[in-house]
Amino acid sequence: MAERDLWIAAYDVRDPRRLRLALRVLKGYSTGGQRSVFECFLTEAERKRLLAEIQEVLAPEDSFLLVLLDPRSPVRTLGIGVAPADPPFFYIG
């Protein structure tokens, strides 16, 4: 299985329609988030797909930020932190 890295994705979208589309794209890749900031555990291929999809949605006046978190840094969570895991199988139908 491909190695996944933790990325933080954030956006600022000015148009309500594009905002809904950007939210739909990010929710497809994220494991959690709040408002316009999301945690995404991505492989390199998923990262490239995310950037291609979000680029189709956003306009020049919008902002998008994707930041790789250093895997050597300790992770500190408040509340209940659950590490993401792929399910044993995927259903496509």
In a domain, 82, yes or no: no
In a domain, 49, yes or no: yes
Q: What total of structural domains would you count in the chain?
A: 1
In a domain, 88, yes or no: no
Q: Is the pTM of this model over 0.85?
A: no
User: Helix 44-57 to helix 16-27 angle, to the nearest 10 degrees?
Assistant: 170
Q: Quote the domain boundaries for residue 62.
A: 5-68
How does DSSP classify residue 20?
H
The 10s digit of each residue's pLDDT in 48-86 is 999 999 999 999 999 999 999 887 887 777 777 666 677
CATH number of the domain at 31, please.
Answer: 3.30.70.240
What pLDDT shows up at residue 13? 93
In a domain, 76, yes or no: no
In a domain, 89, yes or no: no
What pLDDT shows up at residue 54? 95
In a domain, 46, yes or no: yes
Bridge partner residues of 33 (DSSP): 38
Start-to-end CA span in the chain (Å): 23
In a domain, 92, yes or no: no
The 10s digit of each residue's pLDDT in 4-60 is 898 999 999 999 999 999 999 998 888 877 778 998 999 999 999 999 999 999 999
